[in-house]
Structure 1
């Protein structure tokens, strides 16, 4: 059973993809955005002054730091249509076996030579605390820049999503999985370095254990990570991410036809002070 697929004309998520996702906890779709689309996405992100103004720094507890920005609703600009596209959101519905909605999007920025590491964690380790009663959530890591070992690509433990939710503790400015438990799981789950080219996407389950090393290279590593929740898993209480909101999924060609590069109407950028699972780095602090 393979975990890697190629995007091409007539692309549709398949039963084989869903089986691989259920077995391994992830799949990779190469080239889900072509060169024109990734260029447009890059411009949509880099030209968005509001996005950058709402970003914040996270310490890895050692020498490194990374920058992140989180928003609640996808919006109608190029970045929003990527997140709402059939090939991204529709694939999530196939993999999750039901209607999904946009839980939030995140831009993760590891700059060259200074980008910090991220400790082993499950996304559901965070989202459990938000009133999501089941792990019926997933994320899609879309590479804006190349992601490789040298600049801190994602590492995953294959099939670790089958081990259930692990207790998470504070590590620097992050929340990480109980490391003793992780070490046990490493003995039975294979480690994979997820190296991506711009436009490749990793679809992964909310209970899949993952981390990333610091970026010690001369190349930045930026990724867009929309997260999706099953409609049936509407959180038990209101919090800093949205309750169920109907997602308007658009055709794949909507990204290329979109001429709106920046539109922040209704995106609702997150104040990191409202999220108890992270601690932002204040300007006068050193990691």
Structure 2
């Protein structure tokens, strides 16, 4: 999987890129089953909303084979290597849920703001590349992005540890209003298997989900090896300390797992 010159240009200009249905329905089905099995577990890596619904599951690639394969999949690793021009390691891995009716808000923020302040990441040479496990629609809490906001650099932020169950370095209303006036807001939507990648400084957030339709997205935070974190303060299952470059698996690795599932079900 390699990005075209036009896709790379679009990414640098807008700060984000969406690749529709990069993974097949069979591949996604494996991940959906395994994500639910993870959410059903009581373990420190699984964080929940205040109402008990799953919010995120960290480091799934370290204790689940399907997500280990996804975390080294060339359709995700190679595009980020193209953008950075070097090899990458896994800084963070999470499966974010927006449960039907109960999924809570993610406030406006920049990811690099957290990576810098909490993990000691030197520069915004890391990004999220994500896989839709459910259909993401305008109505079920899609990610909201402010195009071109990555050009504003690292913005002043406040550490919000009260609004929701996950602490974030959030932006104030005046800053968001100014950036939206310049770039607008987009909400990338698409079918399961779509892949969204966005710059570490791109301003984004999401509203709650009050619909019957869940919205699960897997996020791989890939960091350039030269940009390894210096002073982590969060647990290692949130900010990883293994800076080994990722060696991608075969492109058919997840498809083979899907075939094994299919055979076992027959």
What band does the TM-score fall into relative to the shorter chain?
0.7 to 0.9
Shift of 1:32: 1.0
Could you tell me which of 220, 223, 231 is aligned with 2:225? Answer: 231
The aligned residue for residue 113 of structure 1 is: 101
Which residue of structure 2 aligns with residue 104 of structure 1? 92
Match of 1:82 in 2: 70
> What is the Cα deviation at residue 197 of structure 1?
1.1
Match of 1:71 among 47, 59, 69: 59
- 1:194 paired with 2:184, answer no
Return closer, same or farther for 1:64/1:164 CA change in 2, 3 Å cut-off: farther
Inter-partner Cα distance in structure 2 for 1:208 and 1:120? 10
Give 3-state SS (helix, strand or coil) of 2:92's partner: strand
Match of 1:257 in 2: 256
2:246 maps to 247
Residue from 143, 147, 154 that aligns with 1:158: 147
Asked if the contact 1:74–1:84 (Cα under 8 Å) also holds between the matched residues in 2, the reply is: no
For 1:278, the equivalent position in structure 2 comes to none
| Distance verdict in 2 for CA 1:159–1:74, change over 3 Å | farther
Counterpart residue number, 1:271: none
Question: Which of 28, 31, 34 is equivalent to 1:38?
Answer: 28
Deviation at 1:51, TM superposition (A): 5.5
Gaps of 5+ in 2: 262-266
Output the CA distance in 2 between the equivalents of 1:127 and 1:138: 10
Question: Are residue 133 (structure 1) and residue 131 (structure 2) matched?
Answer: no
Q: State the Cα distance separating 1:57 from its structure 2 match.
A: 2.1
Q: Is the CA contact (8 Å cut-off) linking 1:64 and 1:114 kept in structure 2?
A: no
Which segment is superposed worse, 94-103 or 44-53?
44-53
What TM-score, normalized by structure 1, do the two folds share?
A: 0.79
CA distance in 2, matches of 1:50, 1:248: 30
The Cα shift of 1:15 comes to: 2.5
Displacement after TM superposition at 1:73 (Å): 5.1
Offset at 1:141? 2.0
**TM-score, normalising length: structure 2:** 0.85
Deviation at 1:64, TM superposition (A): 11
Name structure 1 gaps, 5 residues minimum. 1-10, 262-287
Alignment partner, residue 264 of structure 2: none
Measure how far apart 1:232 and its partner are.
Answer: 1.0
List structure 1 runs of 4+ shifted beyond 4 angstroms. 49-52, 63-66, 72-76
Instruction: Name the SS for the 1:33 alignment partner.
Output: coil
Task: Give the aligned partner of residue 80 of structure 2.
Answer: 92
The structure-2 alpha-carbon separation of the partners of 1:194 and 1:228, relative to structure 1 and needing over 3 Å to count, comes to same
Q: Cα RMSD between the aligned structures?
A: 2.3
* Equivalent pairs, count: 248
